[in-house]
Structure 1
């Protein structure tokens, strides 16, 4: 029996959770707690009906953690290449679970879905929201963040990813603590220290970081999720302003969910497979 093929455009915690949910489907049945699979003629062993799950990564992280299912690296340069891959590999469902700021691949996914006829779902973690005591300055791009920053502080904690520091490279009046998973791509600000680290981060640790480096302003993207939200709490406690770069919109006409389980259910509905379990 052919296995329905699902392609996950990954690189996020949510993508990993979805791959785990889909790959957890038991070959002997519909998944934990699900009904048993139909038996072959004569009552022999059950007919396997697991999903084939492929996660595609752009390849920007040197040593990604192992993923359930199959792994493809290198990304897709354009919508045409992704559309051809979907057709050639007989993909039944496409899930865009990339980073909320990966706007280009999200546009490619929407166009490739329209061209190939493969249904598309966007899986996005919820964004952050300002609360009582927050001093947020919401902007639309890293360039806009760089424009307002000098009026807010002189020692900035910059957490905008390894490609985002370039927008601040012309600022010589601000000192930066740049935290990224891997070394930032040049150019970078002339007065800066780079801290390579991976979340999740605690409020206590973030509080200590702000104090140790005498930070007086935070600059971040609205990435959402709990792993890196502690810096916002620490900044609020310290009374520091935060420049928050708003996320780009999901392409029009694309269904969006913030739940990996809902994404798994969506895949099930389009492949006729039960996809439940624990990620």
Structure 2
């Protein structure tokens, strides 16, 4: 009889949910998904899960040791940054195999008008002064830079879409509470209805929210695109199937 192995998935993305759903069907695996708890209404999860932070890389390493985790798979948002760094350090400290599931980023193509920046703070400053109506799609937890910008450009109107209400209320703004994926027709209609002149987005990659990028291309709307943070060294795959193959290659689990 094969020994059951424990897998911890650092989640929060659709890919993480799909990966967990496939792995729980493998009888030789015990799957635990971890969410940061930033979203009040997370998508339905399968298998075991925990919610909340670990207390940095050392805290995560302690969790891995105390719970006898055999494999760590990081399937967090590609722009998450710190948790990915912490995961790499923690796996090294706990001496366990570590994989990063990273969906390919969007690539600029003909017709795209991207203003590429490094951070959300840079994005707020990079919005052209002539733009009066902005669609913020970079997340509800990083609105402080736009609040500061509104002091310089008080006439700018902001539209923001998120799953949960933002912690900061921007003046002269509207919030849409919704969860993707969104169709191309939906995105076209939204940009037209609110007369959006520029959008702010993170380069999250994937198909779920790419329709907004296609719509901006069609309508000639500039995108202030926040690039992904540098990722730590380590093993990486770009698909759920490759992640399962990686697990299988570490030890015969099927």
TM-score, normalization by structure 1 = 0.86
| Alignment of 1:222 onto 2:200 | no
| Counterpart for residue 103 of structure 2 | 125
| Counterpart for residue 182 of structure 1 | 164
Tell me the CA shift for residue 181 of structure 1.
Answer: 1.2
SS at match of 1:206: helix
> Contact 1:92–1:271 at 8 Å: present in 2 too?
no
Residue deviations 1:230-257 (CA, integer Å, cap 9, x gap): 1111111111111100011211x21111
User: Which of 1 and 2 has greater Rg?
Assistant: 1
Tell me the CA shift for residue 119 of structure 1.
Answer: 1.1
Tell me the CA shift for residue 62 of structure 1.
Answer: 1.6
| Alignment of 1:268 onto 2:248 | yes
| Counterpart for residue 11 of structure 2 | 10
- Tell me the distance in 1 between the aligned counterparts of 2:9 and 2:207: 22
| Alignment of 1:194 onto 2:175 | yes
| Counterpart for residue 229 of structure 2 | 248
Tell me the CA shift for residue 113 of structure 1.
Answer: 1.0
- Tell me the distance in 2 between the aligned counterparts of 1:228 and 1:59: 21
Tell me the CA shift for residue 152 of structure 1.
Answer: 5.3
| Alignment of 1:257 onto 2:241 | no
Bigger shift: 65-74 or 87-96? Answer: 65-74
SS at match of 2:149: coil
Residue deviations 1:99-120 (CA, integer Å, cap 9, x gap): 1111111111111111110111
Q: Select 1:106's aligned residue among 56, 61, 84.
A: 84
Residue deviations 1:115-135 (CA, integer Å, cap 9, x gap): 110111100111111111111
In structure 1, list runs of 5 or more residues that go unmatched: 28-49, 275-279
SS at match of 2:127: helix
> Contact 1:93–1:270 at 8 Å: present in 2 too?
no
- Tell me the distance in 1 between the aligned counterparts of 2:42 and 2:112: 34
SS at match of 1:233: helix
In structure 2, list runs of 5 or more residues that go unmatched: none
> Contact 1:4–1:92 at 8 Å: present in 2 too?
yes
Which ranges of 4 or more aligned residues in structure 1 deviate by more than 6 Å?
A: none
Counterparts of 1:60-79 in structure 2, within 5 Å, are 60-79=38-57
Q: Select 1:233's aligned residue among 190, 202, 214.
A: 214
> Contact 2:125–2:149 at 8 Å: present in 1 too?
no
- Tell me the distance in 2 between the aligned counterparts of 1:165 and 1:91: 36
> Contact 1:170–1:189 at 8 Å: present in 2 too?
no
Q: Select 1:136's aligned residue among 93, 114, 117.
A: 114
Bigger shift: 136-145 or 61-70? Answer: 61-70
| Counterpart for residue 128 of structure 2 | 150
TM-score, normalization by structure 2 = 0.94
